[in-house]
A and B are shown apart, each in its own frame.
Chain A
Amino acid sequence: MRLDAKTPAGPLAEKWDRHRFELKLVNPANKRKFEIIVVGTGLAGGSASASLAELGYNVKTFCIQDSPRRAHSIAAQGGINASKNYQNDGDSDWRLFYDTVKGGDFRAREANVYRLAQLSGNIIDQCAAQGVPFAREYGGQLANRSFGGAQVSRTFYARGQTGQQLLLGAYSALSRQIAAGKVTMYPRREMLDVVVVDGQARGIVVRNLVTGEIEKYAADTVVLATGGYANVFFLSTNAMASNVTAAYRAYKKGACFANPCFTQIHPTCIPVHGTYQSKLTLMSESLRNDGRVWVPKKPGDKRSPSQIPDPERDYYLENKYPSFGNLVPRDVASRNAKEQCDIGKGVGETGLAVYLDFADAIKRDGREVIAKKYGNLFQMYEKITADNPYETPMMIYPAVHYTMGGLWVDYNLMSTIDGLFVLGEANFSDHGANRLGASALMQGLADGYFIIPYTIGGYLAGNSMKKITTEHPAFNESLAQIDSQVKRLLSIKGKRTVDDFHRQLGNIMWEYCGMSRNDSGLEKARGLIRELRGEFWENVRVPGSGSDFNQSLERAGRVADFLEFGELMIIDALARRESCGGHFNEGFQTEDNEAMRDDENFCHVSAWEYTGFENEPLLNREPLVFENVKLTQRSYK
């Protein structure tokens, strides 16, 4: 398959403007003749649904939760970046673009990232107009903070609930369009297939999670905004329902999956404490602005933190990276925490944790100032651990948090299936091999508010679509296939639960395809996953029936896909003979144990093409061309 990114010609800063001009327009009177399906109501799906409906399109929107207000974007705490330069500290579109490309270890497309930076300011304007209660200065202007490795203050926030407030903004815009009759909302639906007719995405098949019925919906084009796949690790900071199914089933229908091995491990999460644990909780990395990370200098030091005097503490990030200190990018901070624990300097009961200490910040700014910035995070921490971070340092450890990989899309956000657009975390486009803090919200909203409304018009205006209904054989074929999978899952009646399989898969992925990887571990994991997948289809136990509300059945379908997808991640990790960003292969590192890229051979996107169950997928490469930035070895020293 030839991958055409459709990157517009011309100087970087003019590409998007020029492209918008060149895109064909749909006549306003004709927009109401088109039907668009949007799957997912996070920041990307919610904002896209609302914006497309405002333009006059008829939108059908689907979500897995009981309400479109609950998608996992809601859990983002820290903030959203924009190159407003309100602080007069030297920010610009160019700087945000450069930081994002560099932070992504030069594995993202220049043109996409520049567009993201250009749109970042519009997002803040839009959200403020919707009534998003951003933090303010005394003069009434918006407040900013520096965040996650940035040396300028460009992050906008609403206490520690920025994701929630932005999502509720998009949800309110969506609610307005539902009330206006332009969006029909289908909650508690899980997408199980995309229907392709004459090479174009023309509909979806979903399971109604309340009645169990398999339902078919047709449209002129389909937009997926179904989030990331971090739950392949079982334990992650993602919500319980986050899954890869929609994206994976699109992959099976011909959408290439790009860079699946690029996963982000977030450095500041609450450590794991028991085998019954169902998920991990992130503590916003804004905490690293004021918290100092340390471990005891002496391995195995079991004294309580208050008994360890300053000279016996190792503030390893500040020592190793004097210019960035505690604000190094997420992958660097995570790997260093692992390294400290691996040499026995980890703290807490399990030894798999490091301290994040606010004592100095409280001494400097006072408890009140710290409470204002992080109050709700401290409260959340105390609820979970029963420790008070005002009195004793937090304990943190890295956890899987975000996935940079996703369905391959071109500059228009269209996948390798015509008419199938992919937005937000579900696509691969803007973060390269590693995402910087406060840029996921930015990307989701840029895709939904400001990119898809234009590019979808270009697609619809440039294509003549036959009218089809859900009676088309392609729909019935898909429905029959899903029906038989549901029946098969229910009929196995084995001896192990779905979660039991999921947890084992997660352990394999974390052990061999997590923070640090090596060839022999990856090979081993591949065998283990194949074995586990075989056992799943022989020995899983799914109680209940297919014709009502059945959460075990929902999870079984998702785990079945994770069991195939996990192998694809490993194949991708093995094929990338370098380390970069979130992909760290121990065989490729510098003398300082930093990721060592191979720009000569691997400066490309790996887009995998499905070739059938248990077959080797086919690798397509999209070369990444850097005309505006010089590729450098990242250094945060």
Chain B
Amino acid sequence: MTKTLNLTLKVWRQKGQNSKGRLETYNAKNISSDMSFLEMIDVINEQLTLDGMEPIAFDHDCREGICGMCGTVVNGRPHGPEKGTTLCQLHMRHFSDGDTIVVEPWRSRAFKVIKDLVVDRSSLDKIIQAGGYISVNTGGAPDANAILIPQEIAEKAMDAAACIGCGACVAACPNASAMLFASAKISQLALLPQGKPEAAKRAMEMVRIMDGLGFGNCTNERECEAECPKEISIVNIARMNREFFKAAFLSDVK
């Protein structure tokens, strides 16, 4: 059943990276419970624009939970209260009339605020650039069925590959660790036969770059796994640690 909600929003507003930010209060009236969270912000922004104020800046694109562009901390939880859900797929039916909702950007030393709820996540790209690939040029690949991969391995690799790179794991972690993100890619490629030749180098390099970018370490809080919209498991972190130790102690990679 569609319901109508009246809500109070406290939203982080910050003009730029070097400005001071603060929470501003907005009233969201006549919000349909069928709206997505982002559509609710759209409605507020339309009103702010007509009232001569600047709308709230927030990242978003596909609005179907796959691009990884959106994400804010809602009432202290990255992507809000629903498990396995990106902010764009969070619907207002999960809130009650009269609620106060606090909306803040991802918080991490490695993610600088650009404006309001928009942050710079380019450090995640840098982790991938450090080795989150298989070194194969275009052309000359063998027939795809020449590489047989047991179904359960392919499924596990796919579980890890489902990461959308939104950064919620970093925002959720008290140490602002990017280990769930990095381990998802390291796992996907370490599981597959195509990824094995570079597994040692990949683990060493990606961890080294990750550490240098200002992300914290993992202390098994498991907040990342709890908040990940794609429900990536921390089993991947364990696998990354194994890959890392294997590389450090048993391989020639330095």
Contact = CB atoms under 8 A, between A and B. Distances in A.
Interface of A: 47, 50-51, 54, 65-70, 72, 74-75, 84, 86, 122, 124-131, 133-142, 158-159, 161, 163-165, 168, 171-173, 175-176, 178-179, 185, 187, 210, 237, 239-241, 273-274, 276-279, 281-282, 379-380, 383-384, 386, 449-450, 453, 495, 497, 499-500, 541, 543-544, 548-549, 551-552
B151 A138 contact: yes
Contacts of A129: 134, 136, 141-142, 144, 147, 194
A126 B138 contact: yes
Interface stretch (B72-80, B120-128, B219-227): B120-128
5 contacts: A50-B138, A140-B149, A497-B50, A499-B46, A541-B49
B69 A51 contact: no
Interface stretch (B54-62, B96-104, B246-254): B54-62
A499 B39 CA distance: 12
Given A136-B150, A165-B158, 10 more contacts: A75-B62, A84-B144, A133-B158, A136-B154, A274-B32, A276-B35, A276-B43, A495-B50, A544-B54, A551-B57
Nearest to B58: A551
In terms of DSSP, what is the predominant structure of the interface of chain B?
loop
Given A72-B67, A86-B145, A383 B134 contact: no
Interface string B101-114: 00000000000001
Nearest to A171: B128
A141 B188 CA distance: 18
A405 B81 CA distance: 42
Contacts of A168: 161
A517 to B, nearest CB: 28
Contacts of A495: 50
Nearest to B136: A129
A175 B206 CA distance: 13
B132 A175 contact: yes
Contact of B148 (A141, A171, A541): A141
Given A122-B141, A125-B141, A136 B149 contact: yes
Nearest to A548: B16
A497 B52 CA distance: 11
Contact of A140 (B62, B125, B132, B148): B148
B125 A239 contact: no
Contacts of A386: 91, 93
A142 B147 CA distance: 9
Contacts of B165: 67, 69-70
Contacts of A69: 68, 125, 128, 165
Contact of A124 (B35, B89, B144): B144
Contacts of A175: 125, 128-129, 132-133
Contact of A128 (B144, B162, B188): B144
Contact of B34 (A54, A273, A380, A450): A273
B145 A172 contact: no
A172 B82 CA distance: 30
A383 B85 contact: yes
Contacts of A50: 138
A570 B61 CA distance: 27
A130 B193 CA distance: 11
B130 A179 contact: yes
Interface string B207-248: 000000000000000000000000000000000000000000
A277 B38 CA distance: 10
B66 interface: yes
Nearest to B17: A210
Contacts of A141: 145, 148
B128 A172 contact: yes
A161 B162 contact: yes
Task: Give the size range of B's interface with the partner.
Answer: 35 or more
Interface string B182-206: 0000001100101100000000000
A65 B194 contact: no
B195 A131 contact: yes
Contact of B42 (A210, A239, A276): A276
Given A138-B151, A172-B133, A541-B49, A74 B62 contact: yes
A71 B203 CA distance: 27
Contact of B39 (A126, A128, A276, A449): A276
Nearest to B56: A551
Contacts of A237: 64
A131 B174 CA distance: 32
Nearest to A279: B63
B36 to A, nearest CB: 8
A380 B88 CA distance: 11
Nearest to B193: A131
Interface string B136-177: 111101111101111100100110011011000000000000
A423 B234 CA distance: 39
B115 interface: yes
B80 to A, nearest CB: 12
B90 to A, nearest CB: 8
Contacts of A210: 114
A72 B141 contact: no
Contacts of A125: 141-144
Contacts of B91: 383-384, 386
A127 B138 CA distance: 9
A126 B144 CA distance: 8
B118 A549 contact: yes
Contacts of B120: 66
Given A47-B138, A278-B39, A131 B34 contact: no
A129 B55 CA distance: 45
A71 to B, nearest CB: 8
B32 A543 contact: no
Given A240-B60, A499-B42, A131 B138 contact: no
A541 B10 CA distance: 25
A61 to B, nearest CB: 12
Contact of B59 (A66, A68, A380, A383): A66
Given A274-B34, A380-B65, A552 B129 contact: no
A131 B131 CA distance: 13
Nearest to A140: B148
B40 to A, nearest CB: 8
Which 10 A/B pairs are nearest by Cβ-Cβ distance? Answer: A140-B148, A172-B133, A129-B141, A128-B144, A125-B141, A133-B158, A51-B138, A136-B154, A179-B129, A133-B157
Contacts of B52: 543
B124 A67 contact: yes
A240 B89 contact: no
Contacts of B162: 161, 164
Contact of A161 (B66, B125, B128): B66
Given A69-B125, A70-B61, A131 B66 contact: no
Q: Which of B16, B62, B154, B195 has the most CB of A within 10 A?
A: B62
A178 B209 CA distance: 15
B173 to A, nearest CB: 20
Contacts of B130: 179
Contacts of B85: 383
Contact of A70 (B57, B68, B147, B189): B68
Contacts of A124: 144
Q: Which of A125, A241, A500, A541 has the most CB of B within 10 A?
A: A125
Given A161-B162, A278-B38, A497 B46 contact: yes
A278 B35 CA distance: 9
Contacts of A171: 128
Contacts of B144: 84, 124-125, 127-129, 134, 142
A453 B138 contact: yes
A164 B35 CA distance: 25
Contacts of A383: 65, 82, 85, 89, 91
